[in-house]
Amino acid sequence: MAPTRIDANTSGVYIISPTPFTDQGEIDFASTDRMIEFFIEKGVTGLTILGVLGEAPKLSSSEAQAFLKHVMQRVAGRKPVVVGASNPGTDNLVRFAKEAMDLGAAGLMIAPLSGLKNDDQVYAYWEGLFSRLGADVPVCYQDYPQTTTVFSSVAVLNRMIADFPNFVMLKHEEGSGLPKITKLREHAEQGKGRRISILVGNGGLYLPQELRRGVDGAMTGFAYPEMLVGVCEHFAAGRPEEGEDLFDIYLPILRHEQQAGFGLAIRKEILRRRGAMASSAIRHPGPKLSARDHQELDELMARLERKLKG
């Protein structure tokens, strides 16, 4: 069976996966297996590995390869796996991308290089990149200016959607980007360009509003993926208010997990508490939870439990 690949019609929840480490900082492959099963049990559509929150920049080339291979073998075609491939050097990006696709990846997630300053520079970077990747490799464009400092305009995105057929998905996570979604969708609806898949990031902080504006789902991390799955299902079934009701139950802890810099430590700790990994260790440099932070998380998780029961 040919592995599934992402395309312009992809929808659902692609969970951004952390990279589990032991307390000593080594990749924890046993926890990786538990985490994969945890995500599949919660009903995700696919997985995305080796993103920024997967601490990919803190892995050596060989660690990233080993993690990639391990995940592909464990998932074994049960779910599509998108692979983060951002890299300051295009040669190494393309080499790693090829390895990922050869191993059966569903596509690549790539962010524009940090430091691109305007539409000319954004377009030139991607033109070089798309031409080297080849037209048969589907790409999810990670539009995440909070980290990259690159603010991709609607105009340059539409231009690239027109020019590069393998630009099939946008991971939309520009802060305050609700009008951007509407502009992109209107452009396609008015017949001015291709409609591509849009999945949202930022932990899903605005997921219901984004679904109402026409996105196809989420590609984000959140320690309770069942909420993302449930909300998307409600919306797909024409029950937006039920979707919002479910969302609101989780919003306090989602907002807590969504804190810049600090949030990954919270997410890994919740995943640990839920049995998805053995340690919540983050590699240096990275945040560490204090006793006070743990107590705060106790309170928020207890409140969530009460609400889910009530």
Candidates 9, 78, 92, 308: give the one binding a copy of itself (CB under 8 A).
Answer: 92
Q: Is 238 in the site for a copy of itself (CB under 8 A)?
A: no
Torsion region of 104: left, alpha or beta (phi above 0 gives left; psi -120 to 50 gives alpha): left
Task: Write out the DSSP string of 12-33.
Answer: EEEEEPP--B-TTSSB-HHHHH
Q: Is 290 in the site for a copy of itself (CB under 8 A)?
A: yes
Torsion region of 14: left, alpha or beta (phi above 0 gives left; psi -120 to 50 gives alpha): beta
Which part of the chain contacts a copy of itself (CB under 8 A), choosing from 42-50, 219-227, 240-248, 271-279?
240-248
CB 166 within 8 A of CB 136: yes
Candidates 209, 233, 239, 278: give the one binding a copy of itself (CB under 8 A).
Answer: 209
Q: Is 275 in the site for a copy of itself (CB under 8 A)?
A: no
Q: Which is nearer to a copy of itself, 34 or 159 (CB)?
A: 159
- DSSP conformation class of 204: G
Which part of the chain contacts a copy of itself (CB under 8 A), choosing from 28-36, 99-107, 224-232, 282-290?
282-290
Candidates 28, 55, 173, 216: give the one binding a copy of itself (CB under 8 A).
Answer: 55
Q: Which is nearer to a copy of itself, 9 or 146 (CB)?
A: 146
| CA–CA separation, 221 and 5 (whole Å) | 20
Q: Of 108, 214, 113, whose CA–CA distance to 164 is shortest?
A: 108
Task: Write out the DSSP string of 208-254.
Answer: HHHHHTT--EEEE--S-HHHHHHHHHHHHTT-HHHHHHHHHHHHHHH
- Of 109-138, binders to a copy of itself (CB under 8 A) are 113, 117-122, 125, 128, 132
Candidates 17, 86, 152, 280: give the one binding a copy of itself (CB under 8 A).
Answer: 152
Which part of the chain contacts a copy of itself (CB under 8 A), choosing from 11-19, 51-59, 69-77, 269-277?
51-59
Burial annotation 131-165 (CB, 10 A radius, 16+ → b, else e): eebeeebbbbbbbbbeebebebeeebbbbbbeebe
| Residue ranges in contact with a copy of itself by CB under 8 A | 25, 55, 57-62, 88-92, 95, 113, 117-122, 125, 128, 132, 145, 151-156, 175-176, 178-179, 182, 205-206, 209, 212-213, 241, 244, 247-248, 251-252, 255-256, 259-263, 283-285, 290, 292-293, 296, 299-300, 303
